[in-house]
Copies of this chain bind each other. A is one copy, B any other.
Amino acid sequence: MINGEMFIGARAVKGSVGEVRGVNPETGETLEPAYGGATREQLDEACRLAAEAFDPYRSAPREARAAFLEAIAQNILDLGDELVERTVAESGLPRGRIEGERGRTVGQLRLFAQVVRDGRYLGARIDPALPERKPLPRPDVRTRMIPLGPVAVFGASNFPLAFSVAGGDTASALAAGCPVVAKAHPAHPGTSELVGRAIRDAVASSGLPEGVFSLVFDSGYEIGQALVADPRIKAVGFTGSRRGGLALVKIAQERPEPIPVYAEMSSINPVILFAGALEERGPQIATAFVNSLMMGAGQFCTSPGLILAIAGEGLDRFTRAAGEALQDASAGTMLTPGIHQAYCAGVEALARHERVETVARGKAGHNFQGQAGLFSTGAEAFLADAHLREEIFGSSSLIVRCADEPELANVVESLEGQLTAALHMAESDHEDARRLLPVLERKVGRILVNGFGTGVEVNHAMVHGGPFPSTSDGRSTSVGTMAIDRFLRPVAYQDLPEALLPDELKDSNPAHVDRLVDGRPVLG
């Protein structure tokens, strides 16, 4: 099943530009087979097929689209252990994590099937005609959301299943009615091929046009860039580095027809420890914090990279407890040699920073394992050096001691946009928290209490997004059912005869969707 192939529509082909190879970061071993990068002609063909598939795919019955998403989920499960083993080998992530991630991947495909079935995402609205209105009769106006067009999806390295070829971006784009051209992440080509074939087969068994899905490899950056520049592509989903995300945003903006890019890029996820909570259970919070920090070797977008608290005995106790827990933490294998190298450089710079103290380092590891690091500094130093506010992707975190509540608020104000903020509080901290909430709302996409941002639920209310630069578009989420909204735009129909209206907007509502009629909700 692992042949070194990519998929241009239904066709399994090999690329011929350069070479992409998985590396087992646990062993350093280079994995077979080699994957060739796509040619420009292969990419062109994928985009052409996607454009051709767009109208038939989006006008297929919603039930067909829902069943297709479920077929993808089933095909992924049917890959069985081969998929799990390959993903473990290519990512260095433990088997249990990968099995969990497969569950999330399958779960979110099925959740989007449900979203497509109930049709609420269509945002159907009807303002009926008022032929007797003076001075002019009111026309009949009806609106629904339609998909944007073919979407480019860039697989992420840190979620080789849940945010890669069949991950959240692909699931939400396909659910919206957009064909997808996926660019495989070079760190897990075998995983990408397996999952890509699962989707390709689901397209075929669902009787959909082959262009609904293609998967291309890129041995450098040329194909990814050309994909975003292709005039047939109408939106982009990306999870990765700030540099990579901003490069794609720039290409998208410079097109003759600019398109939206949903790039999830970087976040240090401040954790705020209030005095009451520190007093009540500082050491327990420290243990939970270190557990969160070590998850997936710190390679979560929501890893707690920053701890903010008011200096004092409570924070000292927390710091000691966290330092002790961290010392015993085993180094985790990082996703790629490049990520490991960047992590080491980031941590070394922190350790050498003259106004930063090292609280503790985790156990040293071998090969591409990241040795955890916990550091500490004062608010003044933190405010003075923007480098201290940059993400270090991995198990590194910085404690910032603030003199008082206003200084803590200043530190929060100094932060760039973030995915999450976590507040640890006791009942006695409520008023302090209340004052800080408006500031946090302006800075982050998710505010959570007495927990950590790692472990993102895939549900209806989740927001995994946040102001720039945590994402390139803070009006959106890439996780949860609202992610579908990224790939939609409204179209209004005025006085269109009933026979020509889409079912969701017909008077009789044969599609049974919830609608807003004259501004009032009418359940389907």
Hey, which bits of chain A sit against chain B, CB under 8 A? 54-55, 58-59, 114, 118, 120, 125-127, 136, 138-139, 141-143, 146, 148-149, 249, 253, 257-258, 260, 416-417, 430, 433-434, 437-438, 441-442, 444-451, 455, 457, 459-463, 465, 467-469, 472-475, 477, 481-482, 488-497, 499-500, 514, 516, 518-519, 521, 523
Contacts and interface: CB of A to CB of B under 8 A. Distances in A.
Contacts of A482: 125, 143, 490
B257 A143 contact: no
Nearest to A482: B490
Contacts of A463: 143, 490-492
A444 B146 CA distance: 11
Contacts of A459: 127, 138, 141, 519
Nearest to A425: B497
Given A126-B461, A127-B457, A146-B441, 5 more contacts: A127-B461, A257-B417, A460-B516, A465-B489, A481-B519
Q: Which of A433, A450, A519, A523 has the most CB of B within 10 A?
A: A519
A445 B491 contact: yes
A495 B461 contact: no
Contacts of A433: 500
B127 A449 contact: no
Given A127-B461, A142-B461, A463-B143, A495 B136 contact: no
A27 to B, nearest CB: 29
B448 A139 contact: yes
Nearest to A260: B475
Nearest to A489: B475
A104 to B, nearest CB: 12
Contacts of A448: 139, 493-496
Contacts of A492: 445-447, 461-463
A429 B15 CA distance: 48
A141 B462 contact: yes
A490 B485 CA distance: 12
Q: Which of A461, A468, A482 has the most CB of B within 10 A?
A: A461
17 contacts: A54-B442, A120-B521, A125-B461, A127-B462, A136-B455, A141-B457, A141-B459, A430-B497, A437-B500, A444-B491, A445-B491, A446-B494, A449-B495, A451-B494, A451-B495, A465-B489, A475-B489
